[in-house]
Structure 1
Amino acid sequence: MLLVHGLWTRGQRLALWVEAPRRRPGPARAADLAELARTAPRADALARALGSPATATLPVLLPCTPAGRPAASAGRPRADLRLLPVDLAVVELRGARAVEVLTEVAAGPAPVSDGLRWLAHVAAGARRAVDAGHVVPDLHGGGDRFTARWVPLPDRSFGRWRTAVAAACPPVLRAERSPGGPAQALDLLDDVCAVVVDVLVADRTRDVVPHDLPEGAALRDWLLGLRTGEPLPGTGGAGNLPALARRVREWQRSGDDAGYDVLLRVVEPDPREDVPAELADGHLDTTAEDDPADLTWRLQARLRPRDDPSLVLTLDEARADAGAASRADAEDPLLVLLTGTARAGSAHPPLKRLLGGRTDAAAGAGVDLSIEELLDLVEDGGPRLAAAGIALQLPRHWTRKALSFSLTASAAQPGAITDPRTRQADLLDFRWQAALGDSPVTEAELLALAASKSSLVRFRGEWVQVDAEALRRSAAFLRRRGNGRATLVDVLAALGAGRDLPGPVTSVDARGVLGDLLSGDAAQRLPELPDPPGLRAQLRPYQRRGLTWLATMSRWRLGAVLADDMGLGKTLQLLALLAHERDQEPGPTLLVCPMSVVGNWAAEAARFVPGLRVHVHHGPGRARGEDLVALAAGCDLVLTTYGLVVRDVTDLAAVAWHRVALDEAQHVKNAGTRQARAVRAIGAAHRVALTGTPVENRLEDLRAILDTTNPGLLGSAASFRDAFAVPIEKLGQEEPARRLAVVTRPFVLRRVKTDPAVAGDLPEKIEMTVRANLTPEQAALYRRTVDDLTERLARTGEDPGGMSRRGLVLAALTRLKQICNHPAHFLGDSSGVLHRGRHRSGKLELLDDVVAAARQDGEKVLCFTQFAEFGHLLVPHLSDLTGEPVPFLHGGVPRRARDAMVAGFAEDDGPGVLLLSLRAGGTGLNLTAANHVVHLDRWWNPAVEDQATDRAFRIGQHRQVQVRKFVSAGTVEERVDDVITRKRGLAESVVGSGEGWITELDADALHDLVRLGDDAVGE
């Protein structure tokens, strides 16, 4: 890929060179200019500059390979690079030609480096200063050489911009070798600005003739130098340029420090010096005579000297200050005040009526404000005034406080919590406490505050902005539901569903086991149960804590979500719970799971708890009606599938289940599906959900799972969306996320592999994104598909939310993924994987390397794809490559054949490569025989991909696991990879969906996402 680099030299010239594949950086060639014309047709000045035959040699320091060749600037950083001296052949531009190129680069897209882009950004900032008239003449230099030039006005706004832009200066711009060392970013910025401003101002002042001055005077030399641009001698003659340069600098600085800023000040009515002592113990400072609506507030206009911002002056005081200074260039305070109040009126229009024609009053005692005008000024006007550079000063005792609530709960009967007979329905004493800011308030205080019917109240010595309606609703809430008795689930349901709560909840306080449950620390604090008798396994410490937590939740009849990471032994923990309860004979447990893991559950039960009575409810001859009721009564565990629950819901609901357990509980994340409704229709004393991904894409996933285990806990889908999903997912609000965590914490136990208590039991996992180039055949197919999509969308003319448009986009995305996999996958023409011995797909070439290296080391590989047809295409190729059969586990494989594949792969002499479709093989399987995982195409859902990875990275794995995620460079796959990474934050914040968001993009954003990048095609 062609890349144009730029560097600003010590000689104030713009040096340009070209980086192209497989050759040393240097001047542009004809092919480079042709590519530039194709990719950036409007870069005329850049093309003319690069086409110049005149070149110069620039000594620089560049990162080089051990062979001494400059390294490519794109791609991944390499650890073996060193900075080495290089003499570059460059094109040098000065003055107007350099400004022309930088202006063009700043205006449009071109294949330029970060360094050249930064120089263009600096030039654009200098041009804006010229256009705004924010430039001044400057005399720069020292000794025997001075330069007269125009520069941006060195005021505060330019200083902030200058500092921020210099901090972003790419290191390559400091690569020029010089006796003085590397150039400093601020010096580079100043040099570029000076040249740009000087060129632009010279064009506009070429015909300006300075006044006659004595011949040889320093001032005349300076003015003439500004016109000609020629260097000026610093010594000799009558021109004392060093002294003049000092005066110029002082004059420039005075433009920023002299004068005044306008300040608008709000003065409270009858301000009190001290807070009465009786207020210290919590009494309100609110009386009828100081109702804010009946008091007079004032708005005053004041002046603040820029060189002493701690002073606030009236107009008369400012006039006296200006007279004492006796400066010829001193600003007229009245003019500053008039222009400042006019700017304030433009920023906040209500001020035009308040201040218009009343400058004397505002500059004196002030103009009156009603309470409505005051609140409008603070809430709406404050940000606008700040943006306009006008400060708004409020009284010292002015705050804005929000209402919040805390919940205190305890067992109604002391000691009942640890009683084995304690149940979910037992009552708790609870009390809600309101607070205004950090200060607790009672119902009576809230009523007194609400009686003022104002959003500004006097509270404990302060003027406090509050929500008047929230005050009223809070008082009503405390009167109706401030304290009482309720079940734990009902109390938390009020918190989770947000029913009647007029403000955020900041804390929940409880004691004993109840407190441990509410804090989420029950698994750590409860007295651990021993390993149950009959369990043929030694539980790890975190698994024993999981068993203890599950047993406590079961005793309380509280639904539980065991959300450990995949591979941490959720199956074993549930089986240990059944073994623990077996002597009590509580009744049968119904376990619902995907068909792919029914055999695994039966095998694990027989292995770890051989005495457990297990029945698989499956097949055409399965028991129905009374037969099922009788059969289940004699079992400890009945296994069935989500599909059969829908068909047999009536029969299964007739059984008196002790527990319903859901494995891979994300299958009920869509609460409206038939299988989710069927699962909820089956009654049980206790419910457990097992899932490694409680939040796959949306928080609604978590609500649906918890609604299955604890109905009503988080309210309806609509209320949950309003209270939590939208504020957290769309608006990024923290308070709803904290409240959701408080509500869900007692019912969700989640441990991840990186937890200190868990990590020591697992080997290391290395994840990497591997980028594959497209072959020319793939690139042509890809480009044709993008063009076809663009043409079809233009014909539909439908908005981004239209159904037909969504269908077109989703279909095109599928085709683009297939092309990135292999041309034969997209074409479906049964053509070969290779063509004349050469690969037709960059991904497949990478896969061959990974598989060959792993098999050479005696290690096994799992390869996941979301496309069954791609898997079938790969089977014969990988079999030929490895010289052994390559099984393919997909949705069409019968259960017995699937179990045989998994068992065979686990054998030491079994197949070395196992292909799996992501849907059929991504969950429920233990495949620790492999320690290499390859995701051939992306599902664009990190939770689903992590589940698949965890087939190998789980308990029982003793080797380092290497996970490679293939992405085609320069395609939609690479651009969506960033989105995949960002989506991970959603699940972690509280305990993202597919390609749907892509269909909502407008035409330009969609094209930018799917377009073929210049770096897509390999050599």
Structure 2
Amino acid sequence: MLKDEMAAIFGMKTPGVKTIICSLPSTKKGPLPSPWLIKEDSADEVLSGLSPWQIDALAFDPRAAFVMLLDLPVHPPPGIVFASSLRFWIAAARFSLELIAREQFAPAIRDGAARWTPIIDEDDQTRVKSLAKALPPSCLALEEEGPSRKRSKEKGGPSPLQLVESFIDLTTDAFVRWSLITEKTKLEPDLGGRPPKVKPLPRQFLRALAGEDPALKAPLKEVTAFSEKIQRWLSQLKPPSPRAPFRTCFRLDAPTGPAEASDGIWQVRIFLQSKDDKSLLVPAEEVWKARSNTAIFLKRKINNPQEHLLAELGAASRISPEIERCLQDACPAALELQTHEAYRFLRESAPLLEQNGFGVLLPSWWEKRGSRLGLKLKLIDPEDETETDPQISRGLFGLKSIVKFDWELALGDSTLTEVELRDLIHLKVPLIQVRGEWVELPPEEIETAIGFFEKKRREGTDAICLEEAIRLGLGAEMAIENDLPVLKVEAEGRIREMLSRLSGKGEIEAVDVPASFMGTLRPYQMKGLSWLSYLHRLRFGACLADDMGLGKTVELIAFLLHQRAIEDLRRPSLLICPMSVVGNWQRELDRFAPSLHVMIHHGADRLSDSEFGQEAERNDLVITTYATAQRDEESLSMIRWQNVVLDEAQNIKNPAAKQTKTVKRIKADQRVALTGTPVENRLSELWSIMDFLNPGYLGPAKRFHETFALPIERYRDQQRAERLRRMTQPFILRRLKTDPSIIRDLPDKVETKVYYHLTSEQATLYGAVVEDMLEKIESSAGIERRGLILAALTKLKQICNHPALFLQDGSPLDGRSGKLTRLEEMLEEVLASEDKALIFTQFAGMGAMLKHHLQEKLGCEALFLHGKTPKKQRDAMVQRFQSGQDGPPFFILSLKAGGFGLNLTAASRVFHFDRWWNPAVENQATDRAFRIGQHKNVFVNKFVCMGTLEDRIDRMIEDKKELAEAVIGTGEGWLTELSTEDLRNVLTLRCDAVED
């Protein structure tokens, strides 16, 4: 059954089953489970040491194992756990593949058979040793069978280094051999005539290297002699001794002075280079003299540097035919090369010498990126067209506007004409000198460039859309019509000014705060207003991603008023937001922009069709919810909106959701997104928001995933992350309240974890729920399994809060919950310091219990806000809490109802009574207190029960924060995809979970 499951999961051929013997940590009852599968009931058992056990295992030949390890996904599929040993061999397999890809292998004879063996240089040997040090103990558990088992026991078995080297040897041989067999490669030469009955050993060797049978059929003495010859040949490929303090180094110097493109004498100078100080180079001339530098060699314990240099030159000569020539000199110190020989040295010899441990110093221009042949573009300011296009005269370009450009062919810092190119193509060597600089220019690139000249001469007009021009100007790697890469972009006039401002190098012109704005904007908020206004003039979508509490709402309101003051044509704007913040928007608009006419489109009595359109046209702003927008798409699409604004824009983070597609279809002159978390868990969320703002700017979703999401999320590619940041930065304005340059009077936020224990009653209920769930999910699958897990998780979180929440029996609360007891203690400190506190819970029932219990226990009023709280009551509660020291000291909030859209700066203490397991959601809740207007330090306390799911998941959620911080961190659904064993590991109580 196991092999069938492996075949189904990984799509491999059914492997064989074999009984093996493993030495495992054991007790008197039997072997302990694997560390990642340990059950709590085995923790107290007495370890009796390592004992041999017979185990049924899947057996793979080396090639099948290698292919399987390379094909395994980075993250295992749902229900599967990768053991530490499997993860280790995956890493080892990738190292083997890297050696093969670099062609670091050679034929050899081992144990009387023809084998492909890896060639491991000094740097790779360091990596092999690192792998050996990281080898998990479970990889050493396998014991040999038969007579060799006793010998293995006596010797202690293979060392980790031997195991790793053996794995690399076997996988390299298996893969190279299999490749030759599948390609039907014939290494043995066809000499014609009738084949002899007994093939000569060299011909057997070649045939065995490309066949399934590696055995050599010849007398042992003959095989040994032939093997020695092979070993002598292989010794040429091995790097110099890593213990030697010096190594031979070769430096290539280009001809000096003016020269024709294909003329000039190059020099390869020879040095001894110190391994511990690469800047210490002793010229070969001094080595042969052995006078002035004798002290240097003695200090590094090299008594005969001449012999050392000569030996290494001999080894290098077998790698590079150019160096072989210099050995004709009794005291070789340098080698002269023609240009074509220098190019061969650069392309062929230098990499081989470096791979084999020799020092190689090449001219800096050899790896210089700017030496590629490509285009230098100059974007032309469309000033001449302003009379015919009134939008351009007002600065409204738009991403699809056409921008003309001039172009030049560039090679490094030089420009080339078509005549110069045609002269260069006659040269036979790709290494040429252009205006005093040596560059590599392959003939095929010259032909491509000449073809580009001819095509452009036929077409005449050169133009691209502004979207492509911006991408090029911001550093995106692109090519014009897939012909030549764009190496440099210049611009003139307003386009140059625009690119400078978008890239953050130029200052955006400040706009005045509208006279109708009833409030004061801070300096950074005025910059946000100017930024929104500038992007609007360019017809670009904008994402205002300021940290929670910095005032995105007032910046947007000021922007709407600014538009009303400068625009001749007035059309309504549409604001889409979650239902819970509709009231907040109403209050803020009434406060800061009473001159704006606002319409709320929500509820059963909302207008539709023509009535909606007529009423909307009479207003400046229409506010609706995401759910209503999806239902009323037809009515909303009747109007061409001046702006479509998304508040809490993370609501469209799923590109495939109907809600997201609906919102993106609504037409508007400009689109604005407001969000404190442009990226929560995946970069696809950033793509979805950017696709709403500026459709097509980041390309199709599939290409974005391949170009950015996969390299950044999976491989932490910093260069791709930087490219994405440069491309998105102009359209995403993100300021953090922790930045002193943004807001200097906002105090620090101090986050701490509050650890506590379960009571015995809680532990009993917790254990029963876990066991019941694990038993049920063993026989379930799909939706049923996920439902069972989610239901159990909810129960466990309820138990961690309080048994009465789980039992729903109305029983008393006092003394039955470790979490509640700790909360009471901390709230007493809050009262003593005359502070106020917010208490967040995701369970409305828990909130109600806390309200009554805390009021009775601590003798003070506690407010409770939940999803069913009427709007008037909600507003009154907020006002009471904010009303100085006279208001209630505690505000209990349901996380969904109070997690955003509220200003509760009267509180300086925040308690997350139970965890939502999403850093972004928790931070949004915390920001009800940690925002503008707060003049105290804010202390945030997150409850974590040691030894429970809270403890384990608290560690897991830290990973979710990393992604959001790299480029600009949904609930517990992901837990349903864990295997039963992983769930047991996450959920099972540890002994330290229960109080004494």
TM tier, smaller: 0.5 to 0.7
Q: 2:596 aligns with which of 612, 635, 641?
A: 612
Counterpart of 2:608?
A: 624
Deviation larger for 735-744 or 615-624: 735-744
Q: What percent of counterpart residues are identical?
A: 36
Structure-2 separation of matches of 1:307 and 1:656:
70
Check the 8 A contact 1:305/1:312 in 2, yes or no.
no
CA contact (8 A) 2:270 2:283 kept: no
Q: Does the C-alpha gap of structure 1 residues 898 and 408 become closer, same or farther in structure 2, counting only changes over 3 Å? A: farther
Q: Which residue number in structure 1 is paired with residue 692 of structure 2?
A: 708
- Tell me the distance in 1 between the aligned counterparts of 2:444 and 2:826: 65
Residues 727, 927 of structure 1: CA spacing in aligned structure 2 closer, same or farther, 3 A cutoff? Answer: same
Distance 1:636 1:384, change over 3 A: same
Q: Secondary structure at the match of 1:719?
A: helix
Cα deviation for residue 989 of structure 1 reads: 4.0
Secondary structure at 2:908 match in 1: strand
SS at match of 1:914: strand
Match of 1:861 in 2: 837
Range with greater deviation from structure 2 (778-787 or 623-632) = 778-787
Q: 1:452 to 1:866 in 2, by over 3 A?
A: farther
Shift of 1:937: 3.3
Partner of 1:489: 467
Tell me whether 1:814 sits opposite 2:782 in the alignment. no
- The farther-off stretch of 456-465 and 659-668 is 456-465
SS in 2 for 1:849: helix
Task: Find the counterpart in structure 2 of residue 724 from structure 1.
Answer: 708
- CA shift, 1:716, in A, is 1.2
User: What is the CA–CA distance in structure 1 between the aligned matches of 2:969 and 2:353, rounded to whole Å?
Assistant: 36
Q: Deviations over 1:518-539 (max 9, x none)?
A: 4347898344333323222122
Check the 8 A contact 1:551/1:577 in 2, yes or no.
Answer: yes
Q: How many residues of Structure 1 are paired with residues of Structure 2 in the alignment?
A: 747
How many angstroms apart in 2 are the aligned matches of 1:451 and 1:997? 63
Give the aligned partner of residue 665 of structure 2: 681
Aligned letter for 1:672?
Answer: A
Could you tell me how far 1:573 is from its partner in structure 2?
Answer: 1.9
Task: Say whether 1:537 aligns with 2:519.
Answer: yes
Q: Closer, same or farther in 2 for the Cα pair 1:817/1:431, shift >3 Å?
A: farther
CA shift, 1:335, in A, is 9.6
Correspondence for 2:932 among 947, 955, 970: 955
SS at match of 1:564: coil
* Residues 681-690 or 906-915, more deviating: 906-915
Pick one of 726, 742, 746 that aligns with 1:762: 746
CA offsets 1:984-1009 (integer angstroms, 9 cap, x no match): 45434434676687788899988876
Question: Is 1:918 the counterpart of 2:895 in the alignment?
Answer: yes
Asked if 1:391 corresponds to 2:358, the answer is yes
Distance 1:471 1:1003 in 2: 61
> Does 2:311 correspond to 1:310?
no
Please list every run of 5 or more consecutive structure 1 residues that lacks an aligned counterpart in the other structure: 1-33, 45-107, 109-155, 165-199, 201-255, 278-284, 346-350, 797-801
Q: Which amino acid aligns with 2:519?
A: A
| Counterpart contact for 1:303–1:337, Cα < 8 Å | no
Which residue identity is paired with 1:944?
Answer: V
Cα deviation, residue 483, structure 1 = 9.3
C-alpha separation between the residues in 2 aligned to 1:450 and 1:754?
Answer: 59
Which residue pairs with 2:579 in the alignment? 595
TM-score normalised per structure 2: 0.61
Does the Cα contact within 8 Å between 1:781 and 1:819 map onto a contact in 2?
no
2:828 to 852, 858, 863: 852
Deviations 1:480-531 (A, max 9, x none): 6999445533422567886547769787766658635643478983443333
Q: Within 2, Cα distance between the matches of 1:610 and 1:941? A: 37
8 Å CA contact 1:259, 1:305 repeated in 2: no
Q: Displacement, 1:757?
A: 4.3
Q: Write the letter of the residue equivalent to 1:538.
A: T
Alignment of 1:317-466 (within 5 A): 375=347, 381=352, 384-385=355-356, 390-396=357-363, 399-403=366-370, 409=379, 411-413=381-383, 420=394, 422-424=396-398, 428-430=403-405
Residues 216-238 of structure 1 show CA distances to partners (whole Å, capped at 9, x for unaligned) of xxxxxxxxxxxxxxxxxxxxxxx
- Which letter does structure 1 place at the counterpart of 2:647? D
Return the letter of the residue paired with 2:831.
Answer: R
Contact 1:265 1:393 in 2 (8 A): yes
Deviation digits for residues 450-492 of structure 1 (CA, Å, limit 9, x no counterpart): 9989997767777767899988888888976999445533422
The structure-2 alpha-carbon separation of the partners of 1:315 and 1:410, relative to structure 1 and needing over 3 Å to count, comes to: closer
Q: Does 1:640 align with 2:601?
A: no
Pick closer, same or farther for the CA change 1:807–1:826 going to 2, 3 Å: farther
Amino acid paired to 2:729: R
Deviations 1:17-55 (A, max 9, x none): xxxxxxxxxxxxxxxxx99985876599xxxxxxxxxxx
Q: Report the Cα distance in structure 2 between the residues aligned to 1:493 and 1:715, rounded to whole angstroms.
A: 11
Q: Which moved more, 1:901-910 or 1:606-615?
A: 901-910
Q: In the alignment, what sits opposite 1:236?
A: none
TM superposition score normalised by structure 1: 0.60
Q: Which one of the candidate residues 610, 633, 644 is aligned to 1:649? A: 633
Determine if the alignment matches structure 1 residue 575 to structure 2 residue 557: yes
- 1:207 corresponds in structure 2 to none
**Residue among 802, 810, 824 paired with 2:803:** 824
Q: 1:645 to 1:37 in 2, by over 3 A?
A: closer
CA distance in 1, matches of 2:445, 2:754: 54
Gap change, CA 1:698 and 1:361, over 3 Å in 2: farther
Equivalent in the alignment of 1:53 = none
Q: Deviations over 1:563-613 (max 9, x none)?
A: 222222222222222223335451111111111111111222122222221
What is the aligned partner in structure 1 of residue 815 from structure 2? 838
State the 1:919 CA deviation: 3.1
Structure 1 658/444 Cα, relative in aligned 2: closer, same or farther at 3 Å?
farther
Q: Deviations over 1:966-1000 (max 9, x none)?
A: 23335554455455455445434434676687788
Residue aligning to 1:965 = 942
CA deviation after TM superposition for structure 1 residue 792, in Å: 8.9
CA RMSD of aligned residues (A): 5.7
* Alpha-carbon separation, structure 1, partners of 2:466 and 2:46: 65
Q: Contact (CA 8 Å) 2:529, 2:556: kept in 1 or not? A: yes
Against the structure 1 CA distance between its residues 312 and 760, is the aligned structure 2 distance closer, same or farther, given a 3 Å change threshold? Answer: closer
The CA deviation at 1:636 is: 0.7
User: Could you tell me how far 1:640 is from its partner in structure 2?
Assistant: 0.6
The answer as to whether partners of 2:804 and 2:811 remain within 8 angstroms in 1 is no
Q: Deviations over 1:347-376 (max 9, x none)?
A: xxxx78989999989998999999789746
Structure 1 pair 357–486 and aligned structure 2 pair: CA distance change class (3 A): closer
Q: Secondary structure at the residue paired with 1:399?
A: helix
Q: Structure 1 residue 931 and structure 2 residue 908: aligned?
A: yes
Deviations 1:931-951 (A, max 9, x none): 221223333433322222211
Looking at structure 2, the residues matched to 569 and 828 of structure 1 have their Cα atoms a distance apart, in angstroms, of 43
**Structure 1 residue 263 corresponds to structure 2 residue 241:** no
Aligned counterparts of 1:556 and 1:852: Cα–Cα separation in 2: 56
1:942 corresponds in structure 2 to 919
Whether 2:971 is the aligned partner of 1:987: answer no
Single out whichever of 755-764 and 650-659 deviates more from structure 2: 755-764
Deviations along 1:154-179, one digit per CA (max 9) or x if unpaired, are xx99xx99xx9xxxxxxxxxxxxxxx
Structure 1 stretch displaced more, 654-663 or 409-418: 409-418
What's the offset of the Cα at 1:717?
Answer: 1.0
Asked if structure 2 preserves the Cα contact closer than 8 Å seen for 1:558 and 1:710, the reply is: yes
CA displacement at 1:639 relative to structure 2: 0.8
Higher relative contact order (CA 8 A, sep 6+): 2
| Structure 2 segments unaligned to the other structure (5+ residues) | 1-40, 52-84, 86-121, 131-154, 156-240
Q: Distance in 2 between matches of 1:1001 and 1:382?
A: 49
Counterpart in the other structure of 1:743: 727
**In the TM superposition, what is the alpha-carbon distance from 1:795 to its structure 2 partner?**
9.1
- 1:724 deviation in Å? 2.2
Query: Shift of the alpha carbon at 1:432?
Result: 6.7
After superposing the two structures, state which structure 1 stretch, 887-896 or 558-567, moved more: 887-896
Q: Distance in 1 between matches of 2:434 and 2:946?
A: 62
